[in-house]
Amino acid sequence: MQTDPGKRSLIIHIIMTFVISLLMSACTTTHPDRPPNPQQLIGQGRQLYVEFCAECHQVDGSGYSHLYPRLAGNPIITLHDPEPMIVTVLYGQGSMPSFNGKISSDDIAAILSYIRNAWGNSAAAVSARQIH
Amino acid sequence: MRSYMRRLVTLSMVLFSVLSVRVYAQQATPLTQADTFDVPPEIAGHEQEWPLGNHDYANTRAAVGATINAANVNTLGLAWTAELKGGAEWGGAAGNPLIVDGVVYFEDLNANISAVDFKTGKLVWKKSYSNKIFGPSGPGIGYGKLFVLTRLDRYAALDLKSGDELWTYDTGIEVTAGAFQPSVFDHQVYLATQAASSGKGRIIWHSYKGGSSGVVLATDPETGKVRWQWQVVEDGFWGNPEINSGGGLWYPAAIDTQRGVTYWGTGNPSPIPGLKGYPNGSSRPGPNLYTNSLVALDHRSGKMRWYNQVKPHDLFNLDFQISPILATVKIGSQDTDIVIGAGKNGVVYGFDRGTGQTLWKTPVGDHKNDELSALPLTDETIWVAPGAWGGVETPMAYADGVLYVPTVNLPSPYNATAYDAETPEQALNRSEGGTILKDGNFEVDALDGATGRVLWQQKFDRVGFGGVTVVNDLIFTASLDGVIYALSRTDGHVVWQWQAPGGTNAWPAVAGDTIIWPIGIGPHPMVVALRLQTHHPTPTPEQQRTPVKTPEGG
């Protein structure tokens, strides 16, 4: 059975319109995990860093002796892929505690975004969706 | 009759051990006493080991019968290590092991308890809970059991031989017990809580949750049933239980085994210094009894005999938390029983043990702005010393009429509302988070026990949280980055030092020729045993540094 070319064109048009409208909808809907913007994240992260991290890593990111690693100028902090940082914060390492469940994903993202952009560090912000 | 005979035999053993030991460090409080009160068999007659958190009920931290001294300390070396699990807020360990009948008992900050052979370090048994606790912590021993924290809101009794759990006691989530080393005396186990909550649904430490208080819990060692309890914060929480808290009990009490009285140092009130809308502690008007106090409680009834509050309405986290020390000193021509207290306030006090009257007080370390009664109602930051981790943070020691005091000089930043903090925990974290470790240092001061007069002072160029421990003619202490020092008791000069394979915020137990010290900070937390005439190689993470001696030093 042959399909009428005009009818086939209409079906394709309807399908394409539906797909495009779905894509547009996805692009314009605000996702709750979406970071407000990188600068806002970094600003939130500064205060959270003081409250949860600076006891050991110090407010200037300098760490302490051989015990608490330096974050300022540390190349691991500014890797393109923030995964190593995320894993360390979530699950701990050596004497460092895990923060999984203690701090929300939004707050961890803000802290990591701050650390990656403080004291001369420069790297992309981290979104809550990257925290798993 | 059997009980009488047992006590007689035990008393004879104690007298024999006391008389036969070469005395460098004095026997401040014998570990068996009197007819009235019972001392557990694991403690009675065990002076030459380390059966209590601070060695004895007087909290002297003075080893008896040890063979380590200035002449041989340089032969100390690593005999064995035992693994610790790290990853709690304060690392892998903050507290004191016990040594009883040739077995070392210790707890890490994940509430895992190990029993290892004193000679070899070989594991005897292990009980793992894998729950983060806060610290300082450690086991208590007595009547065939080990008493430990197993999570932030739970204590347990373990069978001493197997580690099997015998009973548990839940403090409840609103009065968390994340940091305490139990002690056992006269068929009673002393447990305690701090000013914190463990939260709902998740076992997470919430410092200074409104309505939480330090509470002394006197419990039955056989069942865990509470016989009496005494709450540090007055009923009503000074008018605002939604916000106010305080009076944490962080360290074991001193126990006068003749009088049947326990002596407790209590922690600070919160919020510190204040919150948005409640600057300078205005949510908690008045002196905030019974925080920052030395409190004497009757062993059997829990009734308060006396209290002496040394810092009313504290704004700056200046706990009076250290384990008090019992001593008998000559004042004039009179032998006088005193109790010595200190804490993060950085002032050491000698009190009359019977009345609580202040006999002397001596400031130690740096003091700046700590006497302010209010901070400006602006965004201004005021630096205060002692800071959040300053003053006398870890245990003191006492021997032969001399008190040894470890003091941290480390200021913290404060603001009247903690920069508009919304919660007490946020206020705390902001002052602690602004504290700069590398700008701090620590010192050991020797004070005359009768007068409080400073005899000598030794300063170090870094911070240290390793307490002090007397071993014959030496004092042992440690810096946070893991350098263990032996100082001369005569003038404080450094006789020996050793870089541990990690950092430490714990303090040791000593018996015979061996020191057992938890090294809980760094990539590989562990317990180390240092023994005379041992020369096993030790990993050295960083070059040793020499302490800086001040002109005032002896």
All residues of chain B having their beta carbon less than 8 Å from the beta carbon of residue A72 are: none
What is the chain A residue with the closest CA to B419?
A47
Q: A4 with A64, same domain?
A: no
Whether residue B552 is contained in a domain is answered as no
Q: How far apart are CA B38 and CA A108, in angstroms?
A: 53
Q: Which is nearest to B474 in space by CA: B459, B489, B495, B456?
A: B489
pLDDT for B204 equals 79
**Count of CB contacts below 8 A, A vs B?**
78
Split into its structural domains, chain B has a count of 1
Do residue A44 and residue A25 come from a single domain? no
Confidence at residue B20, expressed as pLDDT on a 0 to 100 scale? 35
Does the residue B546 lie in any domain?
no
What is the DSSP annotation of A63-119?
-BTTTB---TT-TTTT-SS-HHHHHHHHH-BTTBPP-BTTB-HHHHHHHHHHHTTST
Q: ipTM score of the complex?
A: 0.79
Q: Are residues A48 and A92 in the same domain?
A: yes
What range defines the domain where residue A6 resides?
Answer: 1-30
In a domain, B551, yes or no: no
Q: How far apart are CA B28 and CA B16, in angstroms?
A: 16
**Are A5 and A50 in a shared domain?**
no
pLDDT at position A10:
55
Comparison of pLDDT for A26 and B225, the residue scoring more:
B225
Residues B89, A66: C-beta atoms closer than 8 Å: no
Quote the pLDDT of residue B26: 43
Query: Which residue in the set A52, A60, A94 is minimally distant from B429, CB to CB?
Result: A52
Encoded amino acid at B39, one letter: V
Instruction: Tally helices (H) and strands (E) across chain B.
Output: 2, 38
Q: How far apart are CA B137 and CA B148, in angstroms?
A: 8
Query: From its phi and psi, is residue A22 left (phi > 0), alpha (psi between -120 and 50) or beta?
Result: alpha
Does residue B423 sit at the A interface (CB-CB below 8 Å)?
no
pLDDT at A15 over 60: no
Cis peptide before B386 (omega within 30 of 0): yes
> Of the candidates B283, B205, B294, which has an alpha carbon nearest to the alpha carbon of residue B247?
B294
**Number of domains making up chain A:** 2
Residue B527 · residue B93 · CB < 8 Å = yes
Asked whether residue B538 is assigned to any structural domain, the reply reads: no
- The answer to whether A58 contacts B432, with C-beta atoms less than 8 Å apart, is no
B409-421 CB burial, b ≥16 within 10 A, e <16: bbbbbbbbbbbbb
- Domain match, A44 and A19 both: no
Closest partner CB to A67 (pick from B89, B436, B522): B522
* Whether residue A127 has pLDDT greater than 60: yes
DSSP B501: S
Name the pLDDT band for A8 (thresholds 50, 70, 90): low
A45, A110: one domain: yes
The secondary structure of B419-442 as a DSSP string is TT-SSHHHHHHHHHHT--GGG-EE
> Side chain identity at B300, as an amino acid letter?
R
* pLDDT, chain A, mean: 81
Integer CA distances (angstroms), B498 to B82, B501, B549, in order? 18, 10, 18
Cα–Cα distance, B530 to B471 (Å, whole number)? 13
- B66 in a domain, yes or no? yes
A87 at B interface, C-beta within 8 A: no
Say if B520 is an interface residue toward chain A (CB within 8 Å): yes
The two three-digit tokens of residue B71, written as one number: 């002449």
Using left for φ > 0, alpha for ψ between -120 and 50, and beta otherwise, residue B51 falls in alpha
For residue B204, which residues of chain A lie inside 8 Å, CB to CB? 101-102
Cα–Cα dist B405/B389, whole Å: 15
Q: Specify the pTM.
A: 0.88
Residue A85 sits in a domain whose CATH number is 1.10.760.10
Separation of alpha carbons B105 and B403, rounded Å: 27
* CATH code assigned at B254: 2.140.10.10
DSSP string of B526-552, one letter each residue:
EEEEEETT-------SS---PPPPPTT
**Chain B CB contacts of A67 below 8 Å:** 480-482, 502-503, 521-522
Euclidean distance between the first and the last CA atom of chain B, given in angstroms as a whole number: 55
Residue at B540 is within a domain: no
Asked if A94 lies within 8 A of B520 by C-beta distance, the reply is no
Each residue's pLDDT tens digit, B487-496:
999 999 999 9
Residues A115 and A86 in one domain: yes
Collapsed DSSP state (helix, strand, coil) of residue B226: strand
Question: Does residue A42 sit in the same domain as residue A17?
Answer: no
Which residues form the domain of B237? 2-531
Residue numbers of chain B with a pLDDT score lower than 70: 1-35, 200-202, 537-554
In a domain, B553, yes or no: no
Question: B 450-489 residues with CB below 8 A of A?
Answer: 462, 480-482
Give residue B89's pLDDT.
Answer: 82
DSSP character at residue B279: G
A20, A54: one domain: no
Residues 37-76 of chain A whose Cβ lies under 8 A from any Cβ of chain B: 49-55, 58-60, 62, 64-67
Note whether A27 contacts B: Cβ–Cβ < 8 A: no
User: In this structure, are A25 and A46 located in the same domain?
Assistant: no
Nearest-CA residue of chain B relative to A50? Answer: B433
CA distance B418 to B375: 10
Q: What is the pLDDT of residues B253-310, one digit of tens each?
A: 999 999 999 999 999 999 999 999 999 999 999 999 999 999 999 999 999 999 999 9
| DSSP 8-state code for residue B323 | P
Residues 6+ apart with CB under 8 A from B411: B366, B368, B383, B384, B385, B386, B387, B390, B435, B439, B440
The DSSP secondary-structure symbol of B117 reads E
- Dist CA B287 CA A46 (whole Å): 35
Overall average pLDDT of the A47-54 stretch: 94
The SS3 assignment for B11 reads: helix
> Can you tell me the distance from the alpha carbon of B519 to that of B497, in angstroms, rounded to the nearest whole number?
15
